[in-house]
Amino acid sequence: MTDTDNGYPPHPHIGGRTNALRALAAWRMEWPGSPRVLAVTGDSGSGRSRLLTGFLMLCDPEFRKQLFLDQLDPATVPPELPAPAATNARGLTAAQFLWALADHYDLDVDRVEDVYPALAALGEPVPLVVLDVDQAGPVRAADEPAALVHQVLKPLAALETVRLVVELPRPLAAELADQLPPETVQVIDLDTPQWADPDGLVRQATAALDPQFGAPELPFTVDTDVRSSLGTAIAQRAGTSPLVVQLAVQCALTAPEGFDPADEEQLPTSVSSVLDWHARRMGADAQTLRHLLAPLALAESDGIPVDLWVRLAGAVAGQDMADTVASGMLLAGPFIRPVKDPEDATGRRMSLRLAHPAIGEEIRAALPQLHTAQSRIAMALLEAVPQQDWSKAEPYIRDHIAGHALAAGLLPQLLTDPSLFVHADPVALRAAVEAVPLESLGAPALTYLRTVPLLTRNELPALGRAALLETAFVEDGLADFAEAVRRLGLELPWRTLWTLPVSGVDEVTIAQLPTADGAVRPVAVAVVPVGTPGAWQAGPADDETVAARGGLLVHDLMQSYLYPPADPALLARPSEDDRAAGPFGLSQGADYVRVWDRAAGEPVAAFLSVEPLTGADLSPSGVLIVATQSGVKALHITTDAAPIAS
């Protein structure tokens, strides 16, 4: 069965796709026999996202007011129900996607694994539309689209209360469908005859050529008959791809000189042929165009700054491309789009991206040595870091060099600089590091990997990341790396004095201990299980109550020294008056401790823990001790630390 509109006007935004819209409307109204899960797929550029955007317009109460619904095919218009939740997976990791779902449905969960039972417990149908699965994740080489399908979409689709529409590449659509009963899922492949839309492509091409809709006035655009014939020819040559239609029209309008609308055989049939056709008509070598576009095809974000694009194009080509870029904007123009920096109020900082991901797929597939190209890009980015100071690096370089290094197989060598750990976007860097086999990572990278969940979960700025990494390096015995963090020029809220790995710590307090030379030393006292090596006996051996409390580990507060067992009666805790006289106060949660400046009433330090805290205390001199079931650490609060956001 081919697509047909049965005489009704087409959808005003997508111009067709009637069969697919009918299936989507039946899904939304839960029509008897309609599948609970729809997997919308097709080649990149087949119009998957555009179809779902048009469908969501029909579901949204505000957009519905702008559409003449009574003129459309009734079978394509869903009933007036609350709009289904819609989320775009672009750039998101699987965990971020789940947290976004939890936020949307206001689920009270502490772990991403809890999202599924919480959704099931809602006790009502949960309609959800997921777009751009193929663009999931901040790092392409980490293959986050597959992880999103395996870790998130399959479990979601298995929930009886979840009604799911998801847009994804063909192999992943087949994988998702294979996991579900046939009556539960339907695959809508927009390139197959049942779901293709040849009439819609003709309308698209003809409208794009029409001066009424913004096309320039040219002989083949102002003549109605010529325009109609050309639009039909472009659509027929494009097969089932709206993207090829779009690019073919843009290329013709960019360089209309010498264009013969009657020569249908010249018209492109694929993204690859559009690239070659446009280069040939511009009098350029097709490889030159691909070299210009290669950095954008290999980009790890929504765009590359213009000045950096020139450098990276030269790196990929192996020669200076500055003059080629300067003179080649018409050559590259139909395939790129400008992107404004949202943080640049002046509007002067401009980035470029490809007009569609399918262009990037074609460029990458045709690169003869993809690994070499990524290596050259990674090295060019590294050379562009001023004085090798990551705090001064261009944001794209700082945040995305790891993605390029991962694709080039060079990432482990890069993961030795604490400054990169501190200043790079932790979400992107984490995704890249997690894609490397553990056995290939050095000790600093393993420390980062252990700590980074705190950095991403709490969206910490560079200062907060530096403080937690300084402590983590001390914990892992990497003193040189901890010292390197301290030398970064950031005003850290603390200096980690020591860490004590020990299991089963139940409590920790500050105390004072007289020593043999007559001095009195401040100490940290940890309550640990009986029999812990080096533990003091808390009382008489025959006192069961005392034995049940465990033993005591007594550690010097200011230096790494564990005192040998002695009489616990020697230990003296500071009085409440002593504590109140100190400059800092303490507040504690399940997995965090916050230190306050008493005089200013401002927080000056916030320590976050992966594990739940079992105890915390603060000495009058400003040494914070915190304990978990796996150990104790001491942090000397910096007296001139700047206030932090609470």
Q: pLDDT at residue 645 above 50?
A: no
pLDDT in tens, 243-292: 999 999 999 999 999 899 999 999 999 999 999 999 999 999 999 999 99
R_g of the chain computed on alpha carbons: 31
Q: What are phi and psi of 635, to 5 degrees?
A: -120, 120
pLDDT over 50 at 299, yes or no: yes
- CB of 406 within 8 A of CB of 376? no
Say which residue, 298 or 9, is predicted with more confidence: 298
With 60 as the cut, is the pLDDT of residue 471 above it?
yes
Percent with pLDDT over 90 in the chain: 81
Q: Give the pLDDT of residue 432.
A: 97
Q: For residue 42, is pLDDT > 70?
A: yes
In the chain, the amino acid numbered 249 is V
pLDDT band for 414, please (50, 70, 90 cuts).
very high
Confidence of residue 347 (pLDDT cuts 50, 70, 90): low
Got the DSSP string for 264-294? GGGS-SSHHHHHHHHHHHTT--HHHHHHHHH
* Whole-angstrom distance, CA of residue 388 vs CA of residue 406: 19
pLDDT of residue 7: 73
| Among 346-360, 405-419, 422-436, 559-573, the least confident range | 346-360
pLDDT of residue 545: 42
Q: Which residue has the tokens 């040559």?
A: 237
Residue 587 has pLDDT above 90, yes or no: yes
Placement of tokens 């990997």 in the chain? 449
* Per-residue pLDDT at 4: 61
pLDDT band at 639 (very low <50, low <70, confident <90, very high): low
Q: How confident is the model at residue 643 (pLDDT cuts 50, 70, 90)?
A: very low
Q: Residue 234 burial by CB count (10 A; 0-12/13-18/19+): exposed, middle or buried?
A: buried
Identify the residue with better confidence: 401 or 518.
Answer: 401
Give the pLDDT score at 244. Answer: 98
Find, among 620, 596, 619, the residue nearest to 607 by Cα.
Answer: 596
What are the φ/ψ torsions at residue 258 (nearest 5 degrees)?
80, 0
User: CB under 8 Å to 277, separation ≥6 — which residues?
Assistant: 248, 251, 266, 267, 268
- Rounded mean pLDDT of the chain? 92
Share of the chain above pLDDT 70, in %: 95
Spatial CB neighbours of 313, under 8 Å, sequence gap ≥ 6? 291, 292, 294, 295, 321, 324, 325
Q: What is the pLDDT of residue 3?
A: 64
76-81 average pLDDT score: 92
Residue 2's pLDDT is 55
Residue 169 has pLDDT above 50, yes or no: yes
Cβ-based neighbours of 645, under 8 Å, separated by 6 or more: 603
Query: Nearest 5°: phi and psi at 191?
Result: -95, -5
Mean of pLDDT values over 433-440: 96
Per-residue buried b or exposed e for 70-84, using 16+ beta carbons within 10 Å of the residue's own CB? eebbebbbbeeeebb
Q: Where are the extended beta strands (E) located within 382-479?
A: none
Q: Rounded to whole angstroms, how far apart are CA atoms 502 and 526?
A: 10
CB environment 364-398: b (16+ within 10 A), e (fewer): beebeebeebbbbbbbbbbebbeeeebeebbebbb
Please tell me the predicted confidence (pLDDT) of residue 642: 47
Contact 398, 425 (CB under 8 A): yes
Is pLDDT at 641 greater than 70 in this prediction?
no
Banded model confidence at residue 345, pLDDT cuts 50, 70, 90: low
Render pLDDT for 90-146 as a digit per residue (tens, 0 to 9): 999 999 999 999 999 999 998 889 999 999 999 888 999 999 999 999 999 999 999
Helix axes 462-475, 479-486, angle to 10 degrees: 160
